[in-house]
Structure 1
Amino acid sequence: MNVIWARAIASLLVIALVALGLGALIKPIVAMAFVVVALGVQIVFNTFHTQRLWQLLDAPVYGEVPSAPGIWGEIYYRLHKLAKRWHSQVRQVEQQHQRFIQAIQASPYGVVMLDDHNQIEWSNGIAESHFGLDAKRDLRQHITHLVRQPEFVRYLNTQRYDEDLHMRGMGENRQNVIAVQAFPYGDNRKLILTQDITELERTDSMRRDFVANVSHELKTPLTVLSGFLETMRELPLSEGDRARYLDIMAQQAARMQVIVNDLLVLAKLEGDAKPPVEHMIDMPNMLRHLHDDALGLSGDKHTIDMQADPGLTVVGAENELMSALGNLVSNAVRYTPEGGKITIKWRDVGDGAMFSVTDTGIGIPPEHIPRLTERFYRVDRSRSRDTGGTGLGLAIVKHVLQRHDAILQVKSEEGRGSEFSVRFPAARTVRNQAIAAKAV
C-alpha cells in the first residue's frame, strides 16, 4: 500500500471515529451531519487542488509550485522535484548544444546546414565569410538564390559529391579560392563544408613554377654545352675557335654550378629547423667585406658610400648573414646603371638595428614587389639573365632573415631606384665597445 492510499484510509478512519464519538456522546444525527460536512470539505479541498494542478500542468512556469497541507503538499513537492530534474537536464542539453555551436564557430572550416529543399537552416561565421551570407537574414533561403555561381548550382544539382569543388570570387575576398564539398545526411539534408585553400593553391602554383623555372634555367646552359660539344667533335676547329668555345662552355658550366649551389643552400635553409648559431658578429669587418665586394663588382662604374655605426652588432650566424646582406648589395650594383650611386647604411633605429642598401637604379614596378622573394621570380627575365642573377638570391635572403627574426622591407620607384632594408629586433642587437674600438 502506497502513501496516498494510506493517508486516504487514515483520513476516513479519523472521520469515522469522530462520528462514532459524536453519535455516542450527543446524537446520531449530529454524527451524520459531521460526516457529511467532513466529506464535503474533503471534496471541495480536493476539487480545488485538482483545479490548481490542472492549471499548473496546462501552463507550467518553472519555479511556480504552490504549497498545500497533506497529500497535496506531497504531490506539489514531488512535482517540483521532477520539474527541477527535467530543467537541469534541459540546461545540460542546452549547454552541450551551445558548446557544439561554439566548436563549429571556432572551426577553420565553413559549415552550412541545408534542409531537404536546399534551404539554409544554419551556418557558421566562416561560411558566411566564404559565401557572403548573413546567418539571420538568409535563414530558410534557398542557397542557390544566394550563391549563384553556375558551377556551384551544377555541383549541388548533380548530387555527385565524391570530390570537392574549387570556386573563386566569392564572399568578402573575391581573390580567394574556396574548396566546397557537400555531404548528404538524414532525410535528404546536406552539410556543406568550405575551406579557404588560397595559400595551398599559391604554394602549388609556386611549386609548378619552381620546377618549370629550374628546368628552364638549366636547359639553356645545357643546350649551349651540347651544341659546342657536338661542334668540337664533328668540325675541324682552329686553336683560337677551340679556346673560345671552351671558354663559353666553362662559363655555362659555372652558371649551372652557381644555380645548383644556390638550390642546395636554399634547400638547407628551408629544411633546417634549428635556430642559427648564436655568435656575436664582427659587423664592421663584415661591412668592410661587403663594401670591398661591391667595389670589385662595380669596377669603378658607380659611387658606393657606406655609413656604419661601429659599435652596433647582432648575434647570429655570420656566414648566413654575409650571404644574405651580400645578395642585397650585389643586386644593387647589378641593377644600377653606370654612373649611379649606391649607399650602404648600418644604424641603430631605437627598437633594433637596420641594414639598408639604397641605389639609383632602374627600380621595380609596385606589382612585382610582393613576389620578389619567390624562387626564380624575375621582374624582367632577359634583364636578370644579363646581370648574371639566378633568381634565387632574394629567396635565400628571406629564409636567412626569418632564421634571424629579421624583416625585409622594400621601397622602390620605377626609374628612380630602390631601397632594401633589413630590420633586426632589439633581442638580437648588441652594442659592443670592444668591436667599436677595433673598428677605429
Structure 2
Amino acid sequence: MIRPWQRERTLFLLLLAAGISGLWWSPWPFLPLAVIALGLLTRQLWLARRLHRDLCREDPEGHDSRYNLWDSINRLVLRQRRRRQSYQRRLMAITDRIQDSTSVLQDAVIMVDRHGSLEWWNLAAEKFLGLRSPVDVNQPITNLIRAPEFARYFEACDYETPFTMSSPVRHDLHLEFNITLFGRNDRLLVIHDISRLHKLEQMRKDFIANVSHELRTPLTVIRGYLETFDQLCGELPERSLRILRQMEEQAARMDALVRDLLALSRLETRTADKASTVDVVTLLEQITEEALALSEGRHQIRLSIECDHDLTGFETELRSAFTNLIVNAVKYSPDGGRIDVRWYEDDQRIHMSVSDQGIGIDEHHIPRLTERFYRADPSRSKATGGTGLGLAIVKHVLLRHNGQLDITSTPGQGSCFTASFSPDPASQRTFAIKRERTSSLS
C-alpha cells in the first residue's frame, strides 16, 4: 500500500517534470512551471484550511488518509487528541473518586496553594473550622483561622511537630494540625479531632494532682510517728530497729515521689506566673556547692562560666531542673569521677551542660529518658533512690522556658546533658567573665 507522503511526492515530481518539459514545447517556457506551482500552492492552502477546520471542531471526524499527506497528519493529530481526552476523562474520574472518598473522612483534609489560599476541603473541615463553600475558596487560611499561634506555625514552614488548638467554631473540640508540603510549596492539612485524648490527658493531670495532695497528709502523719519512735530507739529490740529504719527509708522515698509528682502537676497547670530575670551564674554556683556537699569529696566537680547571660523565667523551676541534672551526674558517677558543669554560648543559643564519666546510657534508651517513671537501669535507679521523674521535670521546665534538652552518651564512658535556651538580648550584661571552681579529690 502506497503511503500518503509517497503519493504526494510522486504527484509533485510528475507535475515538476511536466513544468520543466514546457521549456522545450511551450512558446512561453516558464508559464507551464508557474501554472503548476500556483496549482500546487492553491491545493496545499485548501488542504491546510480543511485541516484547520477539522482541528477546530469539538468532535472532529477525520478524512481517509489514503488521499493525501494532510489528511494523514489530520488523522494522527485527531488520534492523539482522542487519547488525551480519554486520559483526561479517566483522570477526572479518579480525581472525583478521590475527592468523594476524602470528603466522607472523619478527619478534616484541606488543600492550600503556595500563597496560603484555600483550594479544596472536605465536609469534616466545615464542621471543625466553619469553612463555607464556595465563599471561602481562594481565601487565605490565616484569615479564616484567626489565631496568632496558628499563623506563626503556618508561616514558619516547620511542620515536624503537630500543632494543637481549640476549634474556632466549637471550643469543646480540640484539633491537631498535621501539615505536609508538596508541589511548589503547596500544603496539605490533615486535622484530627483529639478532644477525647485531651479529656483523658486532663483527667490524668487532675488525678495525679489530687492523689499527690491526698497522699501528703497520711505521709506527714506516718513520718511524724516514725520520728516519735526514733526517740524510743533505746527501748526497742534490734529487730524492731531494723523494721523502723526500713519504714523511714520507704516513707522518705514516698515523700520524694509525692514532691516530684506535685512539681510536675504544677508545671503542667501553671500558666499565669510572671517571669523575672534569673541570675544563672549565682544559681549554678549555689547548686554546685550543694552537689559538692552531696558528693562528700568522692567526685571532682568543676563549674566553668564562659558567658554571663541571665535568663528570663522562673528561678524555682530552673533551680529544680539544673539540680536534677547535676545531682544525677553525682549519683551515677563512680567515685573519683569528674563532673563538668558549663554555662556557655555559641552563635545561636546559650547552654548549660553537665558532663560526667559515669556508666553511660545505651542509645535505644535515650529517646525515652524524659518519660515519667522510665528507668534505663531499674536496679541502679533503686539503689540511688531515684523516683524516675527527674528528667520529666527537666523536660517540662525547659518547655516552659522555650528550651530543649539534648542527651549524648557512650556506655562505659559517660554522658552529657545539655539544656539549650534562646538568648535574651535584654538579659545580657555588658561584660563577660570566665570562672572555674574545682573540688579536690579525697
TM-score range, shorter chain: 0.3 to 0.5
TM-score normalized with structure 2 length: 0.47
TM-score normalized with structure 1 length: 0.47
Q: Which structure would you say has the larger Rg? A: 1
